[in-house]
Structure 1
Amino acid sequence: MKRTSISTRVFVYGTLLSGEPNHGLLRGARLVGSARTLPRFTLYDYGPFPALASGGKHAVAGELYEVDAVMLAALDRLEGHPCFYERTSIALDGAGRVEAYLFPKGRLAGRLIIESGSWRTHLKEKKSW
């Protein structure tokens, strides 16, 4: 009997992006491509990483990957799902529904909003402050 691997599409927008510190966890995942959320979110600076929250007017930039169940479990551990971040189904612009890690908006009071919707752009801007 042939085993089939079920894959999940996951949108990443911060430290899991290619070239960022946690990207190694996605080794072996299939990069679907660059992606963007619909303009219904807010991206916050949470210090060493960003936090994506539902509600808002920003389209957030990131990458879309297909991961297997083992890799999804590893991502859940990294993101502290469901206690720190919560893995949630969201709609991407032109790519349908995918999984993404959202942060509870109530814990983001006073945090800087990343107006560009891009963690990479924000990191470049921070270096020039």
Structure 2
Amino acid sequence: MDVEEELITIFVYGTLKRGDCRHHVVSRFHFLGEAVTQPVYRLFHLGSYPGLVEVAEDGSEVQGELYAIDPERIREVDEIEGVEAGLYQRVPVQLQSPWRISGAETYLYLGDVSHAKDLGTHWEVAES
């Protein structure tokens, strides 16, 4: 089996992006490029980090980056993102071409966003 087939592709949209405070977590992994989601998500400001939620209508095309991560190391990223604590869930993400069929995953926020500021299409490093 090809080693690259075993890698997990992760779409990051906030503090894990280049230039932001948690980028060091993914910087040692292979950067694949920039990507944009299908317009089925909303991005919210949750204080020092953003949260991506899937919506039934009025979604936005969220901008982010893709990284190929070794399956043994994905647990480290899951821990940083609070998956075990129930803050986020890692799920398949719907991306636009050329990444549409990449099989990428992302972290969806599981908390309440009813009072959070809508960020539109992207998280700015200055917002962290």
TM-score range relative to shorter protein:
0.7 to 0.9
Give 1:90 shift: 1.3
Q: If you compute each CA radius of gyration, which structure gives the higher value, 1 or 2? A: 1
Residue equivalent to 1:113:
118
Provide TM-score, normalisation by structure 2.
Answer: 0.85
Give 1:47 shift: 0.6
- For the residue of structure 1 that corresponds to 2:44, the secondary structure is strand
Kindly indicate whether the alpha-carbon contact (under 8 Å) linking 1:13 and 1:61 is maintained by their aligned counterparts in 2: yes
Aligned residue pairs, count = 121
Kindly indicate whether the alpha-carbon contact (under 8 Å) linking 1:26 and 1:71 is maintained by their aligned counterparts in 2: no
Give 1:36 shift: 0.5
Q: Which of 100, 108, 117 is residue 102 of structure 1 equivalent to? A: 108
Query: Structure with the greater relative contact order (CA < 8 A, sep ≥ 6): 1 or 2?
Result: 2
Amino acid paired to 1:8: I
Residue equivalent to 2:90:
87
Residue equivalent to 2:24:
24
Structure with greater proportional helix content = 1
Give aligned-pair identity as a percent.
Answer: 27
Residue equivalent to 1:43:
43
1:13-57 CA-to-partner distances (Å, cap 9, x unmatched) read: 000001111111113211110000001100000010000000142
Gaps spanning 5+ residues in structure 2: where?
A: none
- For the residue of structure 2 that corresponds to 1:91, the secondary structure is coil
Give 1:71 shift: 2.3
Gaps spanning 5+ residues in structure 1: where?
A: none
Residue equivalent to 1:11:
11
Provide TM-score, normalisation by structure 1.
Answer: 0.85
Q: Quote the RMSD (CA, aligned, Å).
A: 2.1
